[in-house]
Structure formats: C-alpha cells, structure tokens
Structure 1
C-alpha cells in the first residue's frame, strides 16, 4: 500500500476523531457544511481563562512529562525504522512524515488544546510551507499536519537537540549553515536541489527563530531563495494562540484555543532575483494582515 496514502488517512482520521472527542461533533453527518458550522460554534464557545493556580500548574507538568515520555517511545521506534531504511534517503523522509503525523497528533491530544483548522485544501500540491513561530506547540502542529512528502529545513545545530535532533537527521531532513550569509544562501540552494530531485514540499519558519512575545518577527530571505530555485508556490500557514498556550521559557501549558489557517498559495513562477526584498516584505505583510493585533509586530 502506498505510504503517502497511509499518512494522509492517519492524519485525516485522527483529526476527525480529535474533534469528535473534544467537541462532541458527529462526523458521520452527511452535511459537511453543517459539520463545519457545528465545529466553529463549539470552538467559539470555549472560554479560555488563564489559571496559574497550583492545581493547573501541576496538571500542566504532568502533561509535559507524558508528552516527553510519549516522544521518547515513538522516537525510539522510528529510529529503528530509520536505521533499517538508512540506504534509502527518500523512504526515510516519508517515514519521518508518518512519525510526525502520529507523534504530533498524540502530543496535541495530550496537551488538550481546542484546535480550529482552516483552508487545509490549499495543501494539495508540492509547495513551500512557511509558518510563524512563537511556541514549541508550533512544532507539534507542523509534525502532525504537513503532508507526507514534505521535508523540513532547520539550522545545522538542531542535531544536538535531544531525541528530536537525532531523528531529524535520520529522517533526512535538511540543515542549513547560518554562520554567514554566503553559507546560508549556498545551503538553501542545496536544499532547493534536493526538493526538486525528490519532488518534495518544504516546511520552513521564515523568522528563523521563535518569537518570545508571540509578535511576528522580521522574515529572513531563505524561503524566497528556495522559491526562485524551485518555482514552487508558497503557502503561508498562520498560527494564532500558540504563544498563549505555551510561552517561551515556561513549563506551564495553558488550555488556550489554537487556530491554524492555510492561506491561498502565492505563485512564484514570475519572481525575479532582483526583487527579493520586495517578495519578503509582501509575504510578511500577508502575515501581518492575517494575525490578530496581539501578534502583529510593534511599530
């Protein structure tokens, strides 16, 4: 059976089960419009009140510990699979995606945040996905939701991150050298070559680091260089609420509602190398328009 089909089935099935369990939505209903309206009403009715009491903090710690143990277990299992598949780099990428679908979904279920996902139909072709980054939860969501056949790109130092970094390497995802601009551009060119050679999608955080406040940071140019090399469309994925759910430097995960919104693809067929700054600003402005005031850059 086709592995990508399995990954897609698992991802879609898990999401349906998650919404049924979290909000009591019956996905057996024949009316998709009615289901969507019911989901939106249920999610909008969830009231989020910050609770920093000892009980809430203890529950949060338990959730984080369970997440860590779960990730240790799934990482060990998939590390063995990756080692067996070591001579086949593309199969390791696909297995890494399936690992992400399962592990990301489990971690989000353990954390228990209500989630609303919009526009996922924009994720049907080979594209460059870009996402704003303000919380560890962003990683879990990306692991869960990106389609099979998607490769990630991160700084080369990620290999030293316990568990995740080693599996990231085994899954044959891409690493870039950010020591200087020339090295970074060369790394992105190599990434573009890999994407085209293996017919992959790419996922990247254009801010280059996690925002401490949740407000959008300036974008780096790497995603534009890849677009110029591959002519892949860019699909912005907008995360809202994740910075409230798990703040940087905190071990308290709050039950804040989360929203994941796929925006329509931005075509790059006619982009030219002399307008890189313009393209970076244009895509950044798209995010500013689609983020709530609390996550827009300070002026």
Structure 2
C-alpha cells in the first residue's frame, strides 16, 4: 500500500543507509526532475525520524543537491507534535495539532560544494533555535 502511494505521489525513495549506490541514483533522479521539469523537492535533512525524538544529525545529500542545481533551500520546521502525529515505526497517524514554521529561504546559487558542511551545520543550528534538540518529551 505504502509503495503504491509513493509511486502515485511521485516520491523518489532514497535509502537511508547501507546502499550508497541506490541513494545516489535517487538523488540523481531528483536532480533531473528539478532541472528538467521544474520540480521542487522535499527532503528531511535527518533522513529519518529518531526513535528517541531527538533531532538527529543532518545528512549532506540535500545540501549537495541544492548547490549542484542552484536551488534555494526553504527550511520548514515542524514542532514537537509531529512526532506524536507520525512517529517512527508507526503506521497509524494520531490526530493532533502540528505547527510548521517556514524559515527564510537560503540561496545557494553562489555556493559550491566546499560550502556543504557549513550550510548543513548552520541550518541544523537554525532548527535547534526553533524547536530545541528534542522533538518530544519522553
């Protein structure tokens, strides 16, 4: 069921770990959609939801992709209730109020790949300032 939904929605799966080749193929497909069809891409910078509700490390793939395509990054930060709504390992959504904060866009057209680590770390710090290190109270 979930796989069918992903296909209909146009979701490009990117493996979280263990299969770098497939992850890179997914990122290349996404970049092609961005360049050739003008798609916007939604990427969770952590690559997953952490079991303990804490903000995990941000992966570099989304930042490389933004720089390589010259696409701005529009950070969307959700509050602690998102974990209640759609926690890791949960297949049933729990109704609750979820607040999203849209931060100012980050231009990337004047950046190169040497800026990826700084960009990633700066954005993670902005997330921490918005919601803290922990998404949920455990």
Does residue 165 in structure 1 map to residue 6 in structure 2? Answer: no
For residues 162-201 of structure 1, what are the structure 2 equivalents within 5 Å? 163-177=1-15, 178-201=17-40
Q: Which has the higher strand share?
A: 1
Q: Which has the higher helix share?
A: 1
Using the alignment, how far apart are the partners of 1:288 and 1:188 within structure 2?
26
Using the alignment, how far apart are the partners of 2:42 and 2:59 within structure 1?
14
Name stretches of at least 5 consecutive residues in structure 1 with no aligned partner: 1-162
Match of 2:105 in 1: 265
Using the alignment, how far apart are the partners of 2:29 and 2:93 within structure 1?
39
**What root-mean-square deviation, in Å, do the aligned CA atoms of Structure 1 and Structure 2 show?**
2.6
Q: How many residues align?
A: 133
Match of 1:57 in 2: none
- Contact between 2:49 and 2:87, CA under 8 Å: does it hold in 1? no
CA change 1:166–1:254 in 2 (3 A) is: closer
Using the alignment, how far apart are the partners of 1:212 and 1:181 within structure 2?
22
Name stretches of at least 5 consecutive residues in structure 2 with no aligned partner: none
- Contact between 1:231 and 1:269, CA under 8 Å: does it hold in 2? yes
How far the C-alpha of 1:245 sits from its partner, in A, is 4.7
Q: TM-score w.r.t. structure 1 length?
A: 0.40
How far the C-alpha of 1:238 sits from its partner, in A, is 0.8
Does residue 291 in structure 1 map to residue 121 in structure 2? Answer: no
Q: TM-score w.r.t. structure 2 length?
A: 0.79
